[in-house]
Amino acid sequence: MAMMRLRREDPRVVGSFRLHRRLGAGGMGVVYLGSDRRGQRVALKVIRPDLAEDQEFRSRFAREVSAARRIRGGCTARLVAADLEADRPWFATQYVPGPSLHDKVAEEGPLSAAEVASIGAALSEGLVAVHEAGVVHRDLKPSNILLSPKGPRIIDFGIAWATGASTLTHVGTAVGSPGFLAPEQVRGAAVTPATDVFSLGATLAYAAMADSPFGHGSSEVMLYRVVHEEPHLLDVHDALAPLVRACLAKDPEERPSTLQLSMRLKEIAAREAQGLHERRPPAPRGERELDRPTGRLPGPYTEQHTRRAAGPGPETRPPARRPSSGRPAPARTGGSRPQASRGGTPVGKRPHGTNGTHRTNGRPGTRSGVRTTSAGKNGPRRPANPRLLRQRLVVFVVVTLLVALGIAAAQGCQGPARGLGGTPSQTQDRAADHPRGSDGP
């Protein structure tokens, strides 16, 4: 909210509040930023001198302030203090930091369907509390809605219209913002909670289109359109248009209640928020998480990325090696084009499933190939070193040959010993097979 310095004619102290800045001026008086002795900040409005001399105004003002004290709820600016007997009556409400809905839309443009529905649901809930206290706001518009960090807040409830029992101070002249007044206000009929519903519908349409649903023009033209013409809602989000149109019905009996609005807008806000999450643009076919048209990934493709993409599956494997080359397959980088995964996974998507396999160079990393990693309790093991495997194989073969030669030599040495030390029959048989010549029997 814009603040201005105090002018020479502005008071410095009102009641127990010290004034610091001007927050704005309206038809009833000037609004100041003040604080009490404890440092609590308030928005304090001082009534104009000409209205202070009107006894009828003082009476109606007192009734409105009394009703405002009964309002409970977090979507309104709480009334802090008031002095109805002062020379210039005043009242102070809780200061709400944050821009108005009007300023936010003027600076940032139309809001999304989820934002409009969320703000509308909070405002509807606030109006339920206002109406239960016997107060009708009668001037609900974007500039009277402040967007605080804790949610939207309604200000100037029920007091801006305290100057008369009807909406007309003079014949043919309506007090308020013409684009947000209800038809019954323009006609001078009694106001009801349905009057605030019409104003809320026009406010939501403004938030969705950044424009009034009845266009622009002089006060007379705008008031005529409100009574006789239908609102223009072509730019309102499809999810909100039927509900906004119902709020802008000419007949107050055809408008939904604030409670119905609150429940319906909460549903739309939740659905639209979920829809925004689901309607994120998918990656182009054959490309994965592109950051530019070249098809490169935003970062190197590592085992960590594979594990994150595979999810909580029982096993996650990096790209498999080629069995014929004996060299590990190089890790994927941004320049390579990802291949389709096993099991019909769409191209451009990282593999998901219970086996956690994916293709590398056109070969599936399944059990038929060489499995380079396996998931254990402590995470995937590092790929084996082919050079170390060859060294181990050579050592194994050499040791095997040495053991075999040792066994053969041992058997050769034991043969004669067994011949000399054998049984007599065995010794005679061998002597018969190998005669000794002159030394024979």
Q: Using one digit for the tens of pLDDT, what is the confidence trace for 107-150?
A: 999 999 999 999 999 999 999 988 888 888 888 999 999 999 88
Q: Using one digit for the tens of pLDDT, what is the confidence trace for 401-432?
A: 998 888 888 887 665 544 444 444 444 444 44
Residue of 10, 139, 238, 429 marked active site:
139
At residue 116, the pLDDT reads 96
Q: How far apart are CA 316 and CA 358, in angstroms?
A: 10
At residue 157, the pLDDT reads 62
Beta strand pairing status for 379-380 and 173-174? unpaired
At residue 24, the pLDDT reads 84
Average pLDDT, the chain: 74
Is residue 366 within 8 A of residue 355, CB to CB? The reply is yes
Cβ neighbours of residue 29 closer than 8 Å, sequence gap 6 or more: 45, 46, 47, 48, 51, 88, 90
Q: Which structural domains are found in the chain, ordered by start?
A: 7-95 (3.30.200.20), 98-276 (1.10.510.10)
CA-closest candidate to residue 365, choices 323, 434, 319: 319
Beta partners for 380? 375
Residue 54 is classified by DSSP as -
pTM of the entire structure? 0.59
CA angle 28, 30, 34 (to 5 degrees): 130
At residue 233, the pLDDT reads 95
Distances (CA, A) of 137 to 172, 213, 430: 21, 20, 130
Q: Is 50 a catalytic residue?
A: no
At residue 66, the pLDDT reads 81
Residue 273 has which token pair?
């928020």
CA-closest candidate to residue 101, choices 215, 202, 4: 202
Residue 40 has which token pair?
């609590």
Q: Could you say which residues of the chain have pLDDT below 50?
A: 160-174, 282-377, 417-441
Q: Give the three-class secondary structure for 427.
A: helix
CA angle 65, 70, 75 (to 5 degrees): 100
| Axis-axis angle for helices 258-278, 113-132 (nearest 10) | 160
